[in-house]
């Protein structure tokens, strides 16, 4: 028995959620591949995978919340959750790190190399190799994204929301539940506003700047990095919405708020990634 009179390490009952999640990811990968190859069924297969994954996550997290509310997790289990969340965030750091490395390699090594030397001059005459660049033999012109305007606004509000999440942790420690609810509302509102701004920025890029995914190296790295980050903002916003709802219900205390802590870690990760992205993609 554990020191807090709860049973030893909690082992949940067998569940089908991992298998169903794997099926959902298979549908998503297949749908994405079909869509990229302009198959009409691609979007439908992708949407099916997303729907299955949403259902699995809803049920799976619901089970975790139910087990937590029944006080089944001792300190050892909670440490395991924290370590698991830390490893998950580390895996996300690796993903973004690889994409940032690919961007830097492209702009500092690959593109300049394609414009240097007599052989390259014969293969791609007129290609300058500066940045932003589309690449040799890619037709069409585009304008690069500016750091001011929507990107700067998104940076400011995301930093503001990170500060609000930090203050929310302190409000919980001090038992100020009203302030806690108010402060947790901030990242939810900011997440929705951030995504709305990003959609507006994409529309401007497509219509006014003629920047698309087919614009070569610059367009591809821009949309992949900002799009993947936008997906993480959407996930983080949903995460914070759930935490806000649970806070209103009274689930968290100063001594028992593991889920809220995990959500805070994730939201801070999203903010740090955006700061790096803002500097590397928009400013440099």
Range 224-228 average pLDDT: 91
- Based on the domain organization, do 164 and 258 belong to the same domain? yes
Concatenating the DSSP letter of every residue in 31-85 gives: HHHHHHTT-TTHHHHHHHHHHHHHHHHHHHHHHHHHHHHTT---HHHHHHHHHHH
Six-digit token string for 251: 């689930």
Query: Each residue of 12-63: pLDDT tens digit?
Result: 777 788 899 999 999 999 998 988 888 888 889 999 999 998 898 888 888 7
Q: How far is CA 144 from the centre of its chain?
A: 23
Domain ends where: 30, 52, 72? 72
Query: Each residue of 136-169: pLDDT tens digit?
Result: 666 667 777 888 889 999 999 999 999 999 998 8
Query: CB neighbours (10 Å) of residue 122?
Result: 8
CATH, residue 28:
1.10.287
- Full domain range(s) for residue 19: 14-72
How many domains are contained in the chain? 2
- Based on the domain organization, do 66 and 153 belong to the same domain? no
Give the pLDDT of residue 9: 66
Residue with tokens 């049920």: 59
- Based on the domain organization, do 82 and 173 belong to the same domain? yes
Q: How many residues does the chain have?
A: 284
Query: CB neighbours (10 Å) of residue 28?
Result: 18
Rounded to two decimals, the pTM is: 0.83
For residue 3, tell me if it sits in a domain.
no
Domain ends where: 72, 93, 116? 72
- Based on the domain organization, do 35 and 151 belong to the same domain? no
- Based on the domain organization, do 164 and 136 belong to the same domain? yes
Residue 3, pLDDT > 50, answer no
Give the pLDDT of residue 206: 86
Q: Is 128 exposed, middle or buried (0-12, 13-18, 19+ CB in 10 A)?
A: exposed
- Based on the domain organization, do 191 and 218 belong to the same domain? yes
Side-chain half-sphere CA neighbours of 29 within 13 A? 6
CATH, residue 278:
1.20.120.80
- Based on the domain organization, do 177 and 270 belong to the same domain? yes
For residue 8, tell me if it sits in a domain.
no
């Amino acid at each position: 028995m554990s020191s807090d009179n709860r049973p030893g390490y909690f082992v949940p009952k067998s569940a089908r959620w991992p298998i169903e999640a794997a099926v959902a990811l298979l549908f998503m990968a297949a749908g994405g591949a079909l869509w990229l190859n302009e198959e009409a069924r691609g979007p439908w297969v992708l949407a099916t995978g997303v729907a299955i994954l949403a259902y699995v996550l809803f049920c799976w997290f619901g089970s975790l919340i139910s087990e937590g509310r029944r006080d089944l997790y001792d300190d050892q289990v909670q440490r395991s959750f924290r370590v698991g969340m830390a490893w998950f965030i580390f895996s996300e750091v690796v993903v973004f790190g690889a994409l940032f490395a690919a961007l830097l390699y492209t702009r500092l090594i690959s593109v300049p190399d394609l414009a240097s030397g007599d052989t390259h001059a014969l293969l791609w005459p007129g290609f300058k190799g500066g940045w932003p660049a589309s690449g040799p033999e890619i037709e069409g012109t585009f304008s690069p994204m500016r750091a001011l305007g929507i990107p700067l606004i998104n940076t400011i509000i995301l930093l503001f929301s990170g500060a609000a999440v930090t203050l929310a942790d302190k409000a919980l420690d001090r038992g100020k539940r009203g302030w806690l609810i108010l402060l947790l509302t901030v990242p939810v509102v900011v997440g929705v506003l951030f995504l709305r701004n990003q959609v507006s920025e994409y529309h401007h890029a497509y219509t006014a700047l003629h920047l698309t995914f087919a614009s070569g190296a610059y367009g591809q790295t821009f949309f992949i990095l900002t799009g993947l980050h936008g997906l993480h903002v959407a996930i983080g916003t949903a995460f914070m919405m759930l935490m806000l709802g649970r806070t209103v219900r009274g689930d968290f205390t100063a001594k028992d708020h593991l889920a809220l802590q995990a959500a805070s870690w994730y939201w801070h990760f999203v903010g740090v990634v955006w700061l790096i992205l803002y500097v590397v993609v928009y400013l440099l």
